[in-house]
Structure 1
Amino acid sequence: MDEFWVFGYGSLMWNPGFPYAERQAARVHGFRRSLCIWSTAHRGTVENPGLVMGLDRGGSCRGMAFRVADEDRDDALDYLRKRELITNVYLERFLPIGLSDGRRVQAVTYVVDRRHEQYAGSLGVEEAAAVVLRSHGQSGPNDAYVLNTVAQLKQMGIRDLWLEAVGDAVRPKTAQATG
């Protein structure tokens, strides 16, 4: 049986939620990380949607790859489908990725469906930050999701200037609200 890999580019990087045997930095080509999905469950509600990451067309995306042991494959895939396919805004795809050790493998990942009603498209920093600040869903506040993702990217040495700008726009307001 082939190795089973999962590619994470948002919260999966810092909160995979499934057991894994190996973890490595990785890159997928042809897609970019984007805060482009209206979240009506995890980081927002139907009445007050938040924003979450999607892999959108174009460029390349650095993230984290997880190799799942054969005996955990079915449970991990079941978990991922329950987590990522709640509203079918993501399309499950097996894509070629490059691992930091030079290997090329196929990995399951979740790509945004641009035809879905939850596709937010490209938003400006100020507009995205305003949405993120006001949104909260069953998995917690939207600003925590963005700030945790930015922190994980920085820890991995990955620069995402647009997302960092959203994080910077959110951070002072969050600190003021809790301080």
Structure 2
Amino acid sequence: RLATLEGYRRAFCMASIRYRGTPEAPGLVLALDREAAGACRGVAYRVSEPVAAVTLDYLRERELISYAYDEARLPVRLDGGGEVEAVTFVSNREHPQYRGGLSLDDQAEVIARAVGPRGPNSDYLLNTVASLEA
């Protein structure tokens, strides 16, 4: 279901050195970043046993690969009413890959030039926009 996470925003605040950039020329990827007045819209999925444990293991392996994110169980408000606790992965502001505070121009410059094993960082941006607009 569609849901809102209060106090966070989706931001290009995490350097990508494995997928959309390299250690020498990192790209930027989206992450949940704390912001008091922020609100992040997304989808809350209910995953039932017996696949819940396998799903959580998969997500942890994918999202905690470099510990750039912290796993957090946070309340999300569901469209149509109600609130549930969701497993989220939020940016670790102490991690060396955290790039919060870059200006929009600096973010655009990084995204325009970075290329990694999964392709140009600009493709990541365009694919994300297309997905959010779908």
Whether TM exceeds 0.5 here: the answer is yes
CA distance in 1, matches of 2:117, 2:4: 30
CA distance in 2, matches of 1:140, 1:103: 40
Q: Please list every run of 5 or more consecutive structure 2 residues that lacks an aligned counterpart in the other structure.
A: none
> What's the CA shift for 1:42?
2.2
Superposed CA offset, 1:144-176 (max 9, x none) = 211122222223xxxxxxxxxxxxxxxxxxxxx
Q: Does 2:41 align with 1:91?
A: no
If each structure's helix is expressed as a fraction of its own residues, which one has the higher value? 1
CA distance in 1, matches of 2:120, 2:28: 10
For CA contacts below 8 A with separation 6 or more, give which structure has more relative contact order: 2
Q: Which residue of 2 aligns with 1:21?
A: none
Q: Which residue of 1 aligns with 2:41?
A: 62
CA distance in 2, matches of 1:112, 1:92: 9
CA distance in 2, matches of 1:46, 1:33: 23
* Superposition RMSD in Å: 1.4
> What's the CA shift for 1:28?
0.4
Q: Which residue of 1 aligns with 2:29?
A: 52
Aligned to 1:153, what secondary structure does the other structure show? helix
If each structure's strand is expressed as a fraction of its own residues, which one has the higher value? 2
Q: TM-score by structure 1 length? A: 0.69
Superposed CA offset, 1:22-81 (max 9, x none) = xx2110011111110111112211111110111111111111222212111111111111
Structure-2 change in CA distance of 1:138 and 1:68 (3 Å): farther
* Seq. identity, %: 48
Q: Which residue of 2 aligns with 1:106?
A: 85
> What's the CA shift for 1:127?
1.5
Aligned to 1:119, what secondary structure does the other structure show? coil
Q: Please list every run of 5 or more consecutive structure 1 residues that lacks an aligned counterpart in the other structure.
A: 1-23, 156-179
Letter in 2 for 1:141: P
CA distance in 2, matches of 1:64, 1:76: 16
